[in-house]
Structure formats: C-alpha cells, structure tokens
Amino acid sequence: MNPMRKIRIEKITINIGCGEAGENLEKAKTLLENLTSKKVVITKTHKRTTFGTAGGRPIGCKLILRRKDAEEFLKKAFDAIDKKLSKVVFDTQGNFSFGIKEHIDIPGVRYDPEIGVFGMDVCVTLERPGFRVKRKKISSKIGKKHLIKPEEAIEWVSKNYGVEIV
C-alpha cells in the first residue's frame, strides 16, 4: 500500500458540556484532568443566543489528545460503547463522533462521589500524510482523491479497533 494513503488519527477532542459555570464545571474539569492527565480548556459561549445566554460565559470544558495518548484513549472509549458505532456518526470527510453516557463506563475508571457522573462527546479527526498543507499560512487544497471518504474511515475503524458498524 502507498504510505501516503495510510489513514491515521490527527486528534481526538473530548468535550463535556455543563451548561453553566460553577461547581459542575469544576467537577467536569477535574474529571477530564484525572482521565488524561492533560490540561483542560474551558469553552465559552460565542455571543448572546436565543436562549438568553450572554457571550463569553463558560459552559463546558474540552481537551485535545494526539498521537499515542489519542490511540490509548480511543481503545478505552470504544470499550465503553461496546465496540459498536452507527454509520450515521461518520461525516463526509471521514471523521466521526460518538457519546459516552457515563464516564464510569470507561474501563479502569471508578466512581468518585465528590465528582459524580458525567457524559462526554468524543470527536475523532482522521488524516493522511500530506494533510499538513491545509494548515499552512498560504492555504492549499487537498486533492479530491487524497481526501478520506466515509467508507474508508468505516473500514479503517473496523479493521484497526475491531468496531462493529451497525
């Protein structure tokens, strides 16, 4: 196989939405730090919405994992959802997202009464060698043949992680 056609994980974004600042947000932040031992970023609202939330207010936290950390977490996350994904979770670029209802479903994680139980979103971004051109200052496009199709992503996930596509 051509090494430039090989699919790999660019990043995994883990997100916990709390809806408001305060004790719950601090607990969610602590949980993510304990799960991954990485620094967590607080997410804020963009501007006033129709729901009446003012802009710049903290509403959740997120974390980005790359390389080996991403692969290790993804294996645990797939175990938490019984290694089953729907075809619907894949987008047109081959990326996919899924939710974990309770963080205690992740293998090796114990319930902590001080933190409680949180759900989280796991968003996986895939890439091929050469995708760096889209992040350069002088922007370039990636050729159509080099983009990842949803079918290729489905095949990659099922082959590498043994995930059943429903």
Encode pLDDT of 66-119 as tens digits: 989 999 988 888 888 888 888 888 999 889 999 888 877 788 878 877 877 888
- The boundaries of the domain holding residue 74 are 3-165
Residues contacting 10, CB < 8 A, separation 6+: 66, 125, 126, 127, 131
Domain count, the chain: 1
d(CA 151, CA 149): 5
CB 154 within 8 A of CB 165: yes
Tokens matching residue 45:
């609202």
The residue that leads in pLDDT, 133 or 121, is 121
Statement: residue 134 has pLDDT above 70: yes
pLDDT of residue 126: 92
CATH of the domain at 29: 3.30.1440.10
Q: How far is CA 137 from each of CA 1, 125, 132, rounded to the nearest angstrom?
A: 31, 21, 11
pLDDT 10s digits, 9-55 = 999 999 988 877 788 888 888 888 888 888 888 888 877 665 666 67
Identify the residue whose tokens are 């974004």.
13
Query: CB under 8 Å to 159, separation ≥6 — which residues?
Result: none
Q: Tell me, what amino acid is at 119?
A: G
